[in-house]
Structure formats: structure tokens, C-alpha cells
Amino acid sequence: MAAVFPYRGGCAPVPSPLAPLPDYMSEEKLQEKARKWQQLQAKRYAEKRKFGFVDAQKEDMPPEHVRKIIRDHGDMTNRKFRHDKRVYLGALKYMPHAVLKLLENMPMPWEQIRDVPVLYHITGAISFVNEIPWVIEPVYIAQWGSMWIMMRREKRDRRHFKRMRFPPFDDEEPPLDYADNILDVEPLEAIQLELDPEEDAPVLDWFYDHQPLKDNRKYVNGSTYQRWQFTLPMMSTLYRLANQLLTDLVDDNYFYLFDLKAFFTSKALNMAIPGGPKFEPLVRDINLQDEDWNEFNDINKIIIRQPIRTEYKIAFPYLYNNLPHHVHLTWYHTPNVVFIKTEDPDLPAFYFDPLINPISHRHSVKSQEPLPDDDEEFELPEFVEPFLKDTPLYTDNTANGIALLWAPRPFNLRSGRTRRALDIPLVKNWYREHCPAGQPVKVRVSYQKLLKYYVLNALKHRPPKAQKKRYLFRSFKATKFFQSTKLDWVEVGLQVCRQGYNMLNLLIHRKNLNYLHLDYNFNLKPVKTLTTKERKKSRFGNAFHLCREVLRLTKLVVDSHVQYRLGNVDAFQLADGLQYIFAHVGQLTGMYRYKYKLMRQIRMCKDLKHLIYYRFNTGPVGKGPGCGFWAPGWRVWLFFMRGITPLLERWLGNLLARQFEGRHSKGVAKTVTKQRVESHFDLELRAAVMHDILDMMPEGIKQNKARTILQHLSEAWRCWKANIPWKVPGLPTPIENMILRYVKAKADWWTNTAHYNRERIRRGATVDKTVCKKNLGRLTRLYLKAEQERQHNYLKDGPYITAEEAVAVYTTTVHWLESRRFSPIPFPPLSYKHDTKLLILALERLKEAYSVKSRLNQSQREELGLIEQAYDNPHEALSRIKRHLLTQRAFKEVGIEFMDLYSHLVPVYDVEPLEKITDAYLDQYLWYEADKRRLFPPWIKPADTEPPPLLVYKWCQGINNLQDVWETSEGECNVMLESRFEKMYEKIDLTLLNRLLRLIVDHNIADYMTAKNNVVINYKVMIAIQERAYVDCKIKRFWTHGGGGDTRLGRE
């Protein structure tokens, strides 16, 4: 029956069920109200359910369940698993974590089989080893100490130790099925030291167990395996077994100037203790403010005649150093330790070792009154007894207790907390001591490097921040998607390798890269020679490749264990193989390619290898394979995995998000970059044209006419650029007008951009190289268009010289030449005596241009060849030149390019090589003959008759010798005028020029020179016909020289 709660409002209280109910509320209504109230309160105070599904404590599933799932899924090619593919790919994010947990719980050399709790996804996508490898520190060190003994013994006794093959399985051999191949095979013996039933009795029963004494509450706190406490006999036995790995040093004075504080000081002072590490300088700011007083002239300077040793500077940093920044003071001396470790267990606990020499007592000085003589008659009463009379002087544990008191940590403790196996260093105290004498350089260097890592770690160590613990596996286990079971470690390893393979393969196929093949040892190979496009498409990021290489390392480790379980290698070979894998990760995998910081771990493993090998291979144990002491190298890679896992998870998460959701940048509009400005304008123009066309066209006409009109538009634009008239017969007038309108709009934009960019270039603004090149091309086109326009106007409006002016010019020239008694220059005769000399001079001028060029184009190579040929065959060349002068009146087209000097452009004409040789010869011939016949009067300066410095001198003298030239009494001043001929070439009429030339040279030469200007000029697809202008060729200087000097406007 529902209770009715009292109502605390302002109205009357609700009556109890026993009281008579008021008229307005029936029994049913009241029950309904009470039920709703209960529901509301239950909802309010109930425990919140975080996940959609809450299950009671999950029971472990049988191993067969996960085996069947994994076997069914195979390589995921079956269509029925298409929905699981997404789960498999999504699980790739947690693959590094699965690998970390797998390697962390690796079976030790003394274990044949290790069963581990496993958490697996119900689709078989991923399996995690759900265990933390807690160990009791003294037990763990003792176990590895016994391994050291057994491995050295085995290597000594075995004649030929054969190392495993790597990789253990071929690239195309799929991971073995555990149930079919390994489950029923009895593994070979593990490595275990045979313990003595009497001496080792305290640890005999449980020494090689996995998590020993877990069920014994007397020594361990329980199944959580957090705390331990041992008896003295147990600790002493473990200490004895671990002795091989421990130091014998008990005196801290051994570490004087070789401890952390000394290393910190040496680092701060940038010095190296002999045998210690060397660092980069910590403080570089040498104080130069007090440079007036330096160590050479300081009156307060203490002069020390011999050099100060490094050890002094580190021991007394404030005394012997100028700038003692960040230094640490060390203990000078600790009290002497007089404990001597006994090797023989049968010796009594208190034993006077021969190493301790008795100090003889002599030279005593009387400092006080002598004691009175003994009273020989005095006797003690019978009831007096000595203290502790019934207590023995020592027991069986006394010697062990004293030894443990001086033992290194953790053997000087009787209780403590368990630690993760990977957190326990086994060889750290080896490299903290001085390197033994007589070791090779590489070993000494390795000792120093390991010390360097140790010092840097100690220096960078900060107390850990308190953080809220988050348990990933607990969260997984609480969902309905994960189940737990207990499996053999090797089986989990094979599952993880197969799952990793499936994930990477799915990712490759998702990107449709069928030409890439991932083999079972995680090598990614192309199945054919890839095209550039395929290579670009098949690029994966560092996340994918680093994950692939981590899985490759895991596969090597797991396969080594599989080989052991199959009976192909024994436990010693397995341990040696594992040690080889961890020491040679750089050779067996390519991990360092994708995370180069990894080279630190690779080098560290190499240093550890040197450290271990040179201790292991001593005495009767020789060099070669057989050292299976893999724990130090294993720790290095586990720490790497521990650090890289969060990073890789983030990288892989981004990779998968991009696979599933695509790049987010696709939604963002592209900004118009410099590269896209023109195409952007084009697109807008085309859109405007389309709009106009669609407006203009009647409804009935098909839409595909628009495409034809756009083709006409682009054709019209190309014609405008090439300066070709554009006319399409039969095109409707409105459409033609529209096209012309748009071409004009684009042309205006094109021209304005060209001039705007040229102005920026001229100003010296920062302009892209490509923009400069484009601008040069545009200006060339605009120049040729303007030139064509000018010639067209000349044909329409010209000639600009009237008949009267022409007659006047001609008459003046005739009178001038008569007064000079000038005889015209004849055509060069066939046997002209200076022919060869003039030809050689002409050829040398042509060849000068190529003196500095290293790379030549086809035309330039041809020209050089013709020049060489003319050198070799001058007579043939001369006869060809004269034949051309007589007969050639049509010439090949001339190329034009502008040389960009940024402030202005200079045209460069590319004349056909044969014609260029003819022009060069004619140039030399005309100059020589005109000079000989005194065509040019002496007042034309500069001239060949006097060198330029002499000309300047005479000029100054001439001015100076004028009468009253320096007179300025009435404000006079001297003025020198200079004038230029503007657009001279544009006004010349070729007919008049020909008549004038015939007065000076032979009519054949005059015709050749005039005809040379009627050439076709070519730039890309632009062709311009020069009819009414001068092209800048070799003979032009001769034409203009009479007018006032050499006016060069261009170069060949």
C-alpha cells in the first residue's frame, strides 16, 4: 500500500488513510497520486546509469569464444563482415595501447607459458592484455641474477650457439593458428637454475612462479599484489642469488667526484670529469662588462703557476672558477666503512678479516693520573651475573643480517611495495661506477653516454603532479561490446598481429590502393612500378607507417616465442633472439624513418649492449651469440611505447576521422591566390557572357549554342593577343558585337594589369618571378601591336616627307659629297685585297658574344658552327656573302625578345645566322671604306682617329681657349647643348633612303640595305611585317653615324 506523505504547503494537510476522505478526492485518485510521487522520487535519487547497458559482474568467457571469432573473420574479405570493417578500422586508434600491454606482460625466460587475462572486442577487432606486471623487486632481481648465471654457463658449455633467423617467418606466411599448431605442443624447458634444497630452502618452492606468494597472506597483502614483507632467511637467499647483478661497493667515498652533484657541477661549468659525460655549455654569457680589468692585468689576481685540474674546479667550484653558475656542492668525505663482505658462508659472524691490519699502540703520552693497582683480594659476590648471559653471541641469521644491512636497495629492506617489472633497473649501478680499465673505446663511450642519460634524467626530474586516475580498460569492460577471458600470452600476441594486419590492410583498400601489398611481416611493397600519380596517391603519413613498424617489431617478438613453442628453438636461443631484437631495432625495422627522435633509443640499446656484452663475455665465456639478457633493452622500448602511445593515438585518431568524415577544408571557399587571379577573371567573364547569351536567345533555340558562342569568344581573344583580324562569316551581328565588347573589356583589363605590374617592377616592389616573366611577354605583345598600328597608319597617311623636302635633302647631300670630293664605295670586287682580314674581324665580333655562354640553344650552336666553317673556308664564305649582297632581297623572319632591365626594356633581335655573317662583313667593309674615303668629317665625334680620353682633353682645352669664356661680371654663364633625334627611324622613307645610299655606295649594296628592313618579325604566334621601319641590325650604325654619333638602340 502506498504511503501518503504529509503536505507542507499553506493549505490544510492531506488526511491520513484512516481518517475519512474529503468529498473532492476518491481512493483511486489518491493511490494514483502516491504512485506518481514514488516514481518521481525514485527517478530523482536513483543511481545514474552512465552507459546504456549495465551488466552485473561479467563472467570470463571460455577461450574458444574469441578463437572462433578471430578464425571466422579471417582477413575480413568476406561480404558478411562488411559492417565490422568500420569497427576494425576504428580500433586502429587503440592498437599502440594493445601492443604496449602485450609487450609489457611478456613471459620471462624462466616461464614456459604465461596465461594472461584478456579483454577483447566481441567482433574480434582488438584484444588487450588486461594485467599490470607487478613484481616483488628483490625476487625479480634475484630471478634475473640466476638467469645471468645460467646463460653464461650455457654459452660456456655449448660448442656452437646458433642464433635464430630474423624474421622468424617468411613475409607471405600468415600468422599461425594457435589452436591448430601450438595448443597441444609441449614447450621445451625454460631456463631455471637448479636450487639447493638446503641452502635455498626459504625460496625453493615459489622462486620461479609467476607472481610468487600471491595466495600467501603472510608475505603478500593478497590478490592485488601491492605490498610484501619477507623474513631474513628469504631476503639473504635472494640477495645471494642476485649477487651477480649487484655491486660490491659499500663505501660512498668511491663515488667522490663521480656522483650526481659532481656531474651537475661539471655540466654547469662545461667540463668533463675523466670517464664522465660531456655536455653542451650551460652558460654562454661571458661577462665582458669589466673588460678593463681582465685576468692578465688585474692587480688582485692570484697567479697560479701550474694549471688547475678539472677535479679541483669541480670539488671547489666557488674557489677555482670565475663564473660558478648553477653549481652544486658535494660532500668532501663520508665516514670510513669498516664492513668487509665475507665470501665464505661458513665463517663466524664476527670475524677479524686479515685485510684489516692491526694498528700498533706506541708513543703513548701520559695525560692523567695512573689508575690505582688492582686489589687482588677483592671478589665479586656469587649472585652477580653478566648481562645477556643466556643470549648467544650470534645466531644463524646474524651474518646474513649484517650483510643485508650493507646491501644495496632493495635488499636492505624487509618490506616494501611491489613495482612494475619494467620500472626495475637491473644494470643501472654498473654504469654509475667507473668503466673498468682496459676496455675498448666504444665501451668507454657507451659508459659515458649512459651516464649522460642518467644525469639528464635526474636533472629534468620533477615531482609528479597529482592526477585523477582514469582506467581505460574498466570503461571498455563496462560496455556490452567487450568480454574478458584468460589466454596464453602467445595466443594474444598472434591475435594482436592478425588484428593489426587486418586494420592496416583495410585502410589500404579503403583508399583503393590495389597496387600496394602489405605482407605478413608488415612490409609495404608496390606490386608494380608505380606512376607518379599512383606514388602520390599511395603516400601515407607518419602515423600509419610508425604504427606499421611498431607492429613489425611486435610480430618479430611474438614469432620468436612461437618458434620456441613449436620446439624449433630452445629457451636460451629465444632469450638470445629477444636480446638481439631489442638491441637491433634500427636494422630489423624502419621505425626511425617516421620518428627520428627514436634514434636515442636505438643508440641507448647499443650502449647497453656494449655494457652487458663486455661483462657477460669474460673469463671462459667467449664472444658471439648466446647472451640472452634482454631486460634492459626491453625496458628502453617499453618506455618508448609508453611515451609514443598517446601521441600515436592522437595521430591515428586524426587519420581515421579524415577517413570516415573527409577533410573539413572542403567546405571552405578557396581564396583567390596570385596564381588564380587570371583564371578567376576568366571565369567571371565567361559567366557574364553566358548570362548575356541566355538573355538574348529565344526560348526555342537549344542550350548547346552557348558553348559554341563561348568557343568563338576564346578564339576572338586568342586572335586579339596574336594581332590577327577576327571575322567569322555568317555570325549574327548582335552576337559578334557582344563578343567584341567582351574581348575589349578583357583586353583593357589585360593591358591595365600589365602596365600596373610594370610600374611596380620599376618602383622596385617585391614581385614574383613568374609575374615578371608574364609582364615581359605582355609588354612584348603590346609593343608589336603598337608597331603594327603605327605601320598601318604610315601606309594610310604617309609618307610624312613631302616631295619638296625630299628633293631638298637629296640636293644638299649631292652638294655636300661633291664638296668633300667623295667617290662612291664600290661593290667589293672578287679579288679584294682586304677581304680575308675584314671577314676575320667580322667573325671575331660575332664570336665575342659566346665567350661567356656555357649553354647554347639550337640556333646559337648553328651560328657557332657557321663561324667555325667560315674561319676554315674563308674564300667559300666570301663568295657566298657577295652572292647574297648581289641577289638576296627576301629574308627569313627575325625573332624578337625584350631583355628586362626592370627600369626599361631593350629589344633583342634574333637574326638567321647566315644572314648575320653577311651583315657583319658588310658592316666591317662599309666602315673601312668610308673611313678611308673620309666620308665622315673631323667634327663628328667620337671617331676612330683619336682615343676618347684625348677627345675629352681637347674638348676641355677648346672651351678654355675661348675668349672671355670665364667672364661672369654681368651674370653670363656658359651653356652646353645636347639634342636627341626622337622617332627618327619612324619618319624615314625607304625610297628616299635608297636614293641617298646610292650616292654613297654601289646600287646593289644600297638595294640590299633597304630590302633588309622589309622583314617579318616573329614573337611566339605573333607575326609582324616590318615595311616602314628599321630593324636593328649590324649595318644600322653606319646609316645613323653621319647624324651625330653612334645611336645604338638594341643588340643582336
Kindly report, residue by residue over 645-674, the tens digit of the pLDDT: 999 999 999 999 988 887 776 556 666 666
Nearest-10 Cα torsion for 39, 43, 44, 46: 120
Longest dimension (CA), the chain: 172
Q: Please, which pLDDT band fits residue 1015 given cuts at 50, 70 and 90?
A: confident
Kindly report, residue by residue over 671-706, the tens digit of the pLDDT: 666 666 777 778 888 888 888 877 877 766 666 777
Spatial distance between the Cα atoms of 593 and 677, rounded to a whole number of angstroms = 40
Q: Please, which pLDDT band fits residue 118 given cuts at 50, 70 and 90?
A: very high
Measured CA to CA in angstroms, residue 10 lies from 14, 22, 512 at distances of 12, 18, 74
Beta-sheet pairing, 1016-1019 with 894-900 = parallel
Per residue in 403-422, is it b (16+ CB within 10 Å) or e — as a string? bbeebeebbeebeeebeebb
Spatial distance between the Cα atoms of 277 and 1013, rounded to a whole number of angstroms = 83
- What sign results for the dihedral spanned by CA atoms 724, 730, 733, 738? negative
- Model pLDDT, residue 601: 96
Residue from 206, 211, 210 nearest 238 by CA? 206
Kindly report, residue by residue over 173-189, the tens digit of the pLDDT: 999 999 999 999 999 99
Q: Rounded to 5 degrees, what are φ and ψ at 887?
A: -115, -30
Spatial distance between the Cα atoms of 107 and 129, rounded to a whole number of angstroms = 12
Residue from 575, 593, 591, 561 nearest 633 by CA? 575
- Please give the mean pLDDT across all residues of the chain: 87
- Model pLDDT, residue 24: 63
Nearest-10 Cα torsion for 85, 89, 94, 100: 90
Of 322-336, 380-394, 578-592, the range with the highest mean pLDDT is: 578-592
Residue type, 215: D
Q: Among 271-280, 485-494, 509-518, 793-802, name the one with the lowest average pLDDT.
A: 793-802
Instruction: For residues 592-599, give the mean pLDDT.
Output: 94
Per residue in 424-463, is it b (16+ CB within 10 Å) or e — as a string? bebbeebbbbebeeeeeeebeebbbbbbbbbbeeeeeeee
Measured CA to CA in angstroms, residue 65 lies from 61, 124, 683 at distances of 7, 10, 63
DSSP state letters, 701-770? S-TTHHHHHHHHHHHHHHHHHHT-----TT--HHHHHHHHHHHHHHHHHHHHHHHHHHHHHHHT----HH
- Model pLDDT, residue 20: 53
Pick the more confident residue, 994 or 1030: 994
DSSP state letters, 387-411? TTTTS-S--TTHHHHHHHHTSPTTT
Q: Please, which pLDDT band fits residue 9 given cuts at 50, 70 and 90?
A: very low
Burial class from Cβ neighbours inside 10 Å (0-12, 13-18, 19+) for residue 118 reads: buried
State yes or no: pLDDT of 482 exceeds 90. yes
State yes or no: pLDDT of 438 exceeds 80. yes
Kindly report, residue by residue over 390-429, the tens digit of the pLDDT: 888 888 888 889 999 999 999 999 999 999 999 999 999 9
- Model pLDDT, residue 965: 86
- Model pLDDT, residue 1023: 79
Spatial distance between the Cα atoms of 849 and 198, rounded to a whole number of angstroms = 103
Q: Please, which pLDDT band fits residue 50 given cuts at 50, 70 and 90?
A: low
Look up the pTM and report it: 0.63
State yes or no: pLDDT of 230 exceeds 90. yes
Helix (H) or strand (E) holding 417: strand 415-417
Calculate what percentage of the chain has a pLDDT beyond 90.
53
Kindly report, residue by residue over 53-94, the tens digit of the pLDDT: 554 578 889 999 999 988 887 766 666 777 778 888 999 999
State yes or no: pLDDT of 989 exceeds 90. no
Q: Please, which pLDDT band fits residue 915 given cuts at 50, 70 and 90?
A: very high
